[in-house]
Structure 1
Amino acid sequence: MAGRSIAKRSLGIRSRWPEPGIAASAIAPFAVAYDPLSANEYRETVTLAERIVTGSATAVADRPALAAHVTPRPNAQPAPVATKRGFRFSGGLAALESHNFQLLFQGSLVTQIGMWMQQVAFGWLVLEMTDSPFYLGLAGFFRALPMLLIAPFGGVLADRLDRRRLLIASQLAIAGFSAVLAVMVGAGVARPWHLLLVSFLMGCAFSLNMPARQAMVAQLVTKDQLPSAVALNSMSMNSSRVVGPALAGGLIGIIGVAGCLMLHAVAYVWSVVNVIQIRAPTNERRARDASVLQNLAEGFRYCYEEKSVFGMLALATLTTVFGMQYMQLLPALARDVLGMGADGFGMLMTATGVGAVAGSVYVAGSNARHNRGTLLLLSAIGFGGFLCALSFTTNPLAVMALLAAAGGSNAVLMALNQTIIQETVPDHLRGRVMSAYMVTFGLTPLGALPAGAIAEQYGTPIAIFVGGFLCYVGALWVFMFRPQFRSI
């Protein structure tokens, strides 16, 4: 009741009818004064207010009978958006003005830390069980395969169903798979084929999780806050690459691989607790008007016909297939080339994360909208070049410096790539387009298996060099001979 009285006094409203939240926020910029209205007039006034919020220039003109009730205040500005606690954010932190986004963000940060801990522990476990770099690539293949086969359907579900509920269900599945594997490893009954199976199942759940999560971001922030939201998500992911591997490197010696896997499960439970509290607007579900196959065709057709989106997906494919294989090979590089143990491997992962955080902070702070295409391509060229240099280096400090440079350039590339896609795509297609973006990661097996085979036959440095060189040449060719991408 106190809140209603305050709203009435601040808006100058005298009415016997309860105020909906939209009316208060819509009429705030106006000096409103009218006599007590009937129920029908009240509903018409609320409808008018909603049209004003959506930017209808003829909202008042279309309703002459109501125009007298709404008098614009000169130089009126909309009421500022604030967080639940009233804090104000600007620039690269603007998306944190949304309390719903805060909940998604803090849940994502913890799960990403857990994911990187799991990746370090899992990679070390595979290497200890099999003593085979090829098996590392095979595990990556099984994890990435669902992103190619299932992610498109995950995108369709994200456009047909409630994204929040889909996110909760997929995160609970990931937590369950990780907990089961932790128990098996702790009991000493895990075998290599169990690791491949769990990799595949986690990839399936992840393929449902990511399209819903990425599509949900735009529902929780305004259009002006969207670049900040994408940059913060990138910063979250990349800062977790610092914290996660460092924690895993130390914790493996204390609680073992099984303990790290169980912490991964706990992280996803924490995220579920946060997502349950989100009160997001309902996403558009016009995809329900057609069949699932028609939804798929519509999404892929849009990705092909919208040239800016197609260009971003092509660049993501290039760097993922040829460049990102070095992450799968880092355990072998640490042990076989640099003579490091689990702690050293964690340091290499941390170095990559430090560079990635720096790149994400740069994107969030710059808030640049000009020359993004040029910066995008230069980042891809630099990423490939740093990997080539890495393959010739055996000094641990130099390796960490090059990994940091590669991580930074890749972070800039990914953040700008996602920002351009999110700003371009309409909401009713957002899940399918973000799933197409995930498919680029599903193409990882196209590079993972050959990279593992090359590492097995010729050594890990040669495998890293081949991937980096192809990435460098491909990005340089686009930069030189496709100038339209520089102006995106």
Structure 2
Amino acid sequence: WGADSVYFLVGGLGVVGLTMLLMVKNRTVHRSDKSKSAWKDIKGGLNFVKSDPVIRVLMSLNLLALFAGFIMPLIPVYAEDVFDVGGEGFGLMMAAFGIGGALGTIVLIVSGDKLNKGLLMIGTGVLFGVFMVVFAFSRDYYLSLFLLGLMGATGLAYVITISVLVQSHTPDGMRGRVMSLFGVSMQLFSLGFLFSGVIAQATSNELALVIGGVGVAVPPLLAYAISAELRRVS
């Protein structure tokens, strides 16, 4: 159907999403003091993050999740140079990652509060890093598809779990500001694309992915081992 049909499909889905948002009913909420400037709100959020040891650790982990982005720019490289599967094979690789993320999210929804959030955060972070390292040296296309699915599942679960811990530990009056900062830090994920490309160009694809995998797996282990506050909250 051609590449243009994909963009029409994505645009159509965007319209569907916007329509669903417009159908959400408004409800009365307590508004903050309008006399406060946006800068004061941002400063208040930053001060809270700095002063709260649990939120500080969780936000740091979210920033370091940029290492998870190391995989994304190298997927097309593996599709073309390693597996020689062309555009269709590359599409399947990206789909595997997305399907894994969807399944991982469903598992989290079904499990609810049954799982220990701290251990879940560690487990998914470590597993994502391990799967990335294995993918780096895989030369079997179908194994790599499976690994991408696992990375999608564990990666989404890792980020969502951090988000849940941040929201549950933040007071109501500060939650909006803290989650805004959380959202901004999430955008740094794309910096991982840049770093991955630079490292891969200077050294090798495998080394770039190993660095990314270690960068994702080690921080949650250290955070949970060092921060007694995080262990108690979890």
What's 2:2 paired with?
A: 255
TM value normalised by structure 2: 0.88
Partner of 2:102: 357
1:477 matched to 2:222? The reply is yes
Paired with 1:349 and 1:312, the residues of 2 have a C-alpha distance of: 28
SS in 2 for 1:391: helix
Asked if residue 265 in structure 1 is aligned to residue 11 in structure 2, the reply is yes
Residue ranges of structure 2 left out of the alignment (5+ in a row): none
Give the structure 1 partner of residue 137 of structure 2. Answer: 392
Greater radius of gyration (CA): 1
- Aligned twin of 1:457: 202
Distance 1:369 1:426 in 2: 23
Q: What is the alpha-carbon distance in structure 2 between the residues aligned to residue 480 and residue 429 of structure 1?
A: 27
Contact 1:353 1:407 (C-alpha < 8 Å) held by counterparts: yes
Q: Counterparts of 1:457 and 1:277 in 2: how far apart (Å)?
A: 50
SS of corresponding position for 1:286: coil
CA distance in 2, matches of 1:287, 1:404: 46
For residues 273-323 of structure 1, the C-alpha deviation after alignment (integer angstroms, 9 at most, x for no partner) is 22222212134331523112111101212222333333322222222x212
Query: What is the alpha-carbon distance in structure 1 between the residues aligned to residue 37 and residue 126 of structure 2?
Result: 41
- What is the number of residues matched between the two proteins? 233
Deviation of 1:402 (Å): 1.5
| 8 Å Cα contact 2:199/2:208 also seen in 1 | yes
Which residue does the alignment assign to 1:282? 28
Shift of 1:342: 1.4
Write the distance in 1 (CA, Å) between the matches of 2:95 and 2:123.
24
Deviation, structure 1 residue 480: 3.3
Which stretch shows the higher mean deviation, 384-393 or 345-354?
345-354
CA distance in 2, matches of 1:341, 1:444: 26
Residues 327/283 of structure 1: CA separation in 2 closer, same or farther (3 Å cut): farther
Cα displacement string for residues 10-64 of structure 1 (whole angstroms, at most 9, x for unaligned residues): xxxxxxxxxxxxxxxxxxxxxxxxxxxxxxxxxxxxxxxxxxxxxxxxxxxxxxx
Which residue in 1 is equivalent to 2:59?
A: 313
1:412–1:293 distance in 2 versus 1, CA, 3 Å:
same
Q: 2:49 aligned to 303, 307, 317, which one?
A: 303
Q: Which amino acid aligns with 1:255?
A: G
AA of the residue aligned to 2:147 = L
> 1:336 and 2:78 equivalent?
no
The AA in structure 2 aligned to 1:259 is S
Query: Alpha-carbon deviation of 1:338?
Result: 1.4
Shift of 1:388: 1.0
Is contact 1:284–1:427 with CA below 8 Å preserved after alignment? no
Distance apart, 1:395 and its partner CA:
0.5
Distance in 1 between residues matched to 2:48 and 2:40, nearest whole Å: 12
**In 2 relative to 1, CA 436–287 (structure 1 residues): closer, same or farther, beyond 3 Å?**
farther
Q: Does 1:380 align with 2:125?
A: yes
Could you list the structure 1 runs, at least 4 aligned residues long, displaced by more than 6 angstroms after superposition. none
Equivalent-residue separation in structure 1 for 2:114 and 2:17 (angstroms): 32
1:230-249 to 2 correspondences below 5 Å: none
How far residue 409 of structure 1 moved from its aligned partner, in angstroms, is 1.5
- Aligned-residue Cα RMSD (Å) equals 2.2
Q: Which runs of 5+ in 1 are unaligned?
A: 1-253
Does the 8 Å CA contact 1:283/1:428 hold for their aligned counterparts?
no
